[in-house]
Structure 1
């Protein structure tokens, strides 16, 4: 499969705000903190047109309580990722809920996920973590660092454009190919983010 990369689109912010309002309603009892993350959150950066959103819950014991409300609101639950990332719950939102019946509400085995088919229907990726956990901070730091460091942002953009020219088994294989670059950048981003926040204290 090909990974489709688009030039930055200001409409991504509008889409994020709409989804955020829906998530605030779904998780009203948890008082979540919700942030736009990933490439669509970074002005001027080309990206896959899929909105990545972080939902931060205060109590980690509430993590599994988020699953049924998301399924009830027609988000697809990727339970398969829980073994690899036990402190996260991951969901896919579709562009049109009319298409929800084309897929399972929950995928527990990787072989069952129709990666090629589902790609064109995706609107959002919802990542649920404990607020201010290491994973939460890592993603916020990465976003904020790239916004403030355009040279690194352009390097990341060029990598994504180059990789988008190749054929991939699925999105996970594409992400694996970016992993070394991202991990190196994350180290710088987290140090920068920690220094910024210490200065503000």
Structure 2
């Protein structure tokens, strides 16, 4: 997988909204709210062109009954995929490039709190968002064909910002 980060795209919020509406219908009345997370949710920064959706549901176990509806939208249903209490779906383009990730958690999950705090902190602190953008561009150039190296390179910064975000929210 080639690592590419793209300049900020003003279409990312609209792409999120269109996909969120379809995902909410597919997952039915279990859905409480769909959030835009990840770098495409932070205006003005470079990002892999993948729309990340965080779906809060009443009962995460009920999501499994809607896997076929998600598959009909073009998603692969991957279960917890390494995070207990999550249901994860991934969508790819016809060329095999990832286009969307859906992270589904039960309402009140610590994962929901963490993701939203990070996003909101970055939006409220453009200087931190710019540091993140610069780091992503540097790592993408350094690890062109190594997604693991790219992800590992971001890890320390992301964890530091998550802690700052949780503090900022009064949650840590």
TM over 0.5: yes
1:10 is displaced (CA, Å) by: 0.7
Structure 1 gaps of 5+ residues are: 100-116, 196-201
Aligned twin of 2:85: 87
1:136-160 superposed Cα distances (whole Å, 9 cap, x missing partner): 1100000000001111111111110
Aligned twin of 2:20: 20
Aligned twin of 1:75: 75
Please identify runs of 4+ aligned residues in structure 1 that moved more than 6 A. none
Aligned residues: 171
Q: 1:130 aligns with which of 80, 99, 106?
A: 106
1:29 is displaced (CA, Å) by: 2.3
Aligned twin of 1:175: 151
Work out the CA distance in 1 between the residues paired with 2:29 and 2:128. Answer: 39
1:34 is displaced (CA, Å) by: 0.2
1:28-85 superposed Cα distances (whole Å, 9 cap, x missing partner): 2213310000000011111111101101111233243343332233201234x53x21
Work out the CA distance in 1 between the residues paired with 2:58 and 2:88. Answer: 17
More moved, 67-76 vs 36-45: 67-76
Aligned twin of 1:198: none
Structure 2 gaps of 5+ residues are: none
Question: TM-score scaled to structure 2, two decimals?
Answer: 0.89
1:3 is displaced (CA, Å) by: 1.2
| Larger Cα-atom Rg | 1
Change (3 A) 1:63 1:170: farther
Aligned twin of 2:11: 11
User: Does 1:64 find its partner at 2:64?
Assistant: yes
1:2 is displaced (CA, Å) by: 3.3
Structure with a larger share of its residues in strand: 2
Aligned twin of 2:141: 165
Change (3 A) 1:33 1:172: farther
Work out the CA distance in 1 between the residues paired with 2:145 and 2:135. Answer: 18
1:91 is displaced (CA, Å) by: 1.3
**1:8–1:44 contact (8 Å) kept in structure 2:** yes
1:148-163 equivalences in 2 (<5 Å) = 148-163=124-139
Aligned twin of 2:31: 31
**2:27–2:63 contact (8 Å) kept in structure 1:** no
Change (3 A) 1:64 1:86: farther
